[in-house]
Amino acid sequence: MQVREVVASTNWTDVFATNAGAIYQCDAENCWYIDFAGKVARFDYRCLMKLRKAVNNIDIEGLLLDNTKSPDLEIIFICACDDTYVLTLTEIIKFKELLQGTFVMLDLNHIIYNRLYRVAV
Amino acid sequence: MKDIIRIKSLLSTEIETVLNQQIKKEATSSSIYLAMASWCDRNGFDNSADYFFKQAEEERQHQLKFYKYVLDMGGTAISPEVTNIKIEYNSFREVFEDALDQEISVTESIKNIAGRCYKEQDFVTLEFLNWFFKEQREEEYKARRALELFEIIGEQGTGNWEIDKHVGKIHYSSEA
């Protein structure tokens, strides 16, 4: 596997942050860095979309109501992405909150971009 | 901050999802027509079998059109899983009733996508869908005409044989 050193760069823009983690955008690399669960991981467009889908597909209610003795751990594995998350239920909820906030901010950025630079009238 | 998501794809997540659902619907439609062709062939309705083989191919082309559009616009086209296709029919007439139902559901489904495009002001996809609306006029016309043959000719005596003979001749030539 490719070893990559991630150094906090001044070129990163804060997208969204909660007490549990933060997501930054790197314009130079056209990607996002997710600081969550004790690591900083790089996600390109396709991987971020797949990550959102994977997290949204987790049945949180089902896990909460599950009274079997299996541990409430969920493995989030994204195909063709270097990073995998092994999260507990509370972490999943926090991760979902972080991603939802991020996409709201990215949508907002899209609207601002359209208004400022793209739309003539 | 760059608008990376828009740079990468023209489609919103919601429109991409409904287009992928439509891809599955067209694939299912193609398989249903293939099953109808099989039933007609097994029961001696050769012209109708040919008609349904052609319809199956057309639906497959529709599926590919949606598929390529999603890819061209920067989205992820998903190759669908098609299961539970009905292979037995109770009568010759039931085959054509199901065919019309199928076409109606495709038209309604595309109308629904267009409604969402209006909501999001996705006029690019809306324009792409126009071709399908015109196509659905023809598809519904053909399916309706085929079913009407049962009323005009009647199923008594050699009726079904006569209907089968006329199915292949149904042609839509509207100037509108």
What range defines the domain where residue A101 resides?
A: 3-117
In tens, the pLDDT along B25-45 reads 999 999 999 999 999 999 999
DSSP code per residue over B120-158: HT-HHHHHHHHHHHHHHHHHHHHHHHHHHHHHHH-STTT
Q: What is the ipTM of this complex?
A: 0.80
Give chain B positions within 8 Å (CB) of A30.
Answer: 2, 4, 7
Record: contact B1-A15, CB cut-off 8 A = yes
Measured between CA atoms, the residue of chain B closest to residue A28 is B2
Give chain A positions within 8 Å (CB) of B5.
Answer: 45, 106, 110
Sheet holding A22-26, edge to edge: A12-17, A22-26, A31-36, A39-43
What is the pLDDT, as a whole number, of residue A83?
87
B8 falls within a domain: no
B83 falls within a domain: no
Q: Looking at residues A7-27, what average pLDDT do you find?
A: 88
Q: What is the CATH number of the domain that holds B149?
A: 1.20.1260.10
Give the number of other Cβ atoms within 10 Å of residue A51's Cβ. 21
Predicted confidence band of residue A2 (pLDDT cuts 50, 70, 90): low
Cα–Cα distance, A62 to A64 (Å, whole number) = 5
Number of domains forming the structure of chain B: 1
* Angstrom distances, CA of residue B42 to CA of A45, B36, B87, B160: 50, 10, 11, 14
Q: What is the mean pLDDT of chain A?
A: 89
Record: contact A49-B13, CB cut-off 8 A = yes
Long-range (24+ apart) CB contacts under 8 A made by B39-45 are B39/B87, B39/B88, B39/B89, B39/B95, B40/B92, B40/B95, B40/B164, B43/B92, B45/B92, B45/B160, B45/B164, B45/B167
What range defines the domain where residue B119 resides?
A: 13-77+88-167
B176 falls within a domain: no
Q: Looking at residues B49-73, what average pLDDT do you find?
A: 97
Give chain B positions within 8 Å (CB) of A15.
Answer: 1
Q: Looking at residues B99-125, what average pLDDT do you find?
A: 96
> Distance from B2 to chain A by nearest Cα, in Å?
6
B29 falls within a domain: yes
Number of domains forming the structure of chain A: 1
